[in-house]
Amino acid sequence: AITIGILEIQGAFLEHRVALTNASQLLGNNVKLQITDVRTPDDIKEEIDGLIIPGGESTTISIYLRRNGLEQPLKQWIQTERHVTWGTCAGMILLSKMTDNQKIGGQTSLAIMDTEVSRNYFGRQVQSFEADIRIKDEQLKEIIQNDTFPGIFIRAPAIVKTLNEEVSILATVPDQISNTDVIVAAKQGNVISTAFHPELTEDCSWHLYFLRHVINNKI
Ligand code: GLN
């Protein structure tokens, strides 16, 4: 069995549960999925194999984490090699070492990924929208069976800079305003982040991708 924890403080966590369950059905019969919620330091158990940090509002979530003594145990859990973490939207912001309004993280975020994010990159342009993102990763292309995916963006961030080669780009989206491709999904070691909300699309490929990482990492 594999156990996935979902940080259930605020935001779209129910949808993640549904998508995980759907994705697990594509894994075959011998994989049993358990989902557990993470709200207190005691919930951050060593036995959890994978963790999802959902979207919401990153300032609110980071204040909650600090006040409830979750920040340090979470950070430690994420940095344990056996564990796989996936942050969506606000989760991406929390995982990033740098953001545009708070250079050098660590204080108000988990500061794990060597990325710089712009917290409301797309929010400046339009509150929410759907756009075809371009998949850059071969394994993802195989799972999605396409090189694009319908991304749902809600006041979404974007990765404006990767700080070193350890960060690999999983997907980009063409940005009309700057006329460039911006990074909306990345991976560094066992940590994945996406700016859009794959839990809001019927296609559960991203959850399947995450679960496969969790399984491969556990073996
Ligand atoms: N831009 C938001 C923030 O700063 C994130 C939005 C989201 O998670 N949907 O937290």
Handedness of CA 14, 168, 74, 98 (dihedral sign): negative
> Cα angle at 118 between 116 and 121, to 5 degrees?
145
- The predicted-structure confidence for 175-202, as pLDDT tens digits, reads as follows 887 889 999 999 999 999 999 999 999 9
Q: What is the pLDDT of residue 103?
A: 52
Q: Say yes or no to pLDDT of 104 above 50.
A: no
Which of 154, 193, 199, 200, when mutated, tests ligand 1's pocket best, judged by the most ligand atoms within 8 Å of its CB? 154
Q: How close is the Cα of 154 to the center of ligand 1, in Å?
A: 7
- Mean pLDDT, the chain, integer: 92
In which band, very low, low, confident or very high, does the pLDDT at 105 lie, cut at 50, 70 and 90?
Answer: very low
In which band, very low, low, confident or very high, does the pLDDT at 108 lie, cut at 50, 70 and 90?
Answer: low
- Rounded Cα distance between 198 and 88, Å, is 8
- The predicted-structure confidence for 15-39, as pLDDT tens digits, reads as follows 999 999 999 999 987 789 999 999 9
Does 3.40.228.10 match the CATH number of domain 2-218? no
Q: Say yes or no to pLDDT of 149 above 80.
A: yes
- Rounded Cα distance between 138 and 117, Å, is 24
Q: Which residues are catalytic?
A: 89, 197, 199
Domain boundaries, the chain: 2-218
As a whole number, mean pLDDT of residues 51-55 equals 95
- Ligand 1 pocket: which residues have CB below 6 Å? 55-58, 89-90, 93, 119-120, 123, 154-155, 157
Which of 155, 197, 199, 200, when mutated, tests ligand 1's pocket best, judged by the most ligand atoms within 8 Å of its CB? 155
- How far is residue 187 CA from its own chain's centroid? 9
Rounded percentage of the chain residues whose pLDDT exceeds 70: 95
Q: What is the pLDDT of residue 145?
A: 97
Q: How close is the Cα of 143 to the center of ligand 1, in Å?
A: 27
The answer to whether residues 5 and 40 touch, using CB atoms and an 8 Å cutoff, is no
From the list 189, 190, 199, the residue with the least C-alpha distance to 149 is 199
Atom of ligand 1 nearest to the CA of 61: 10
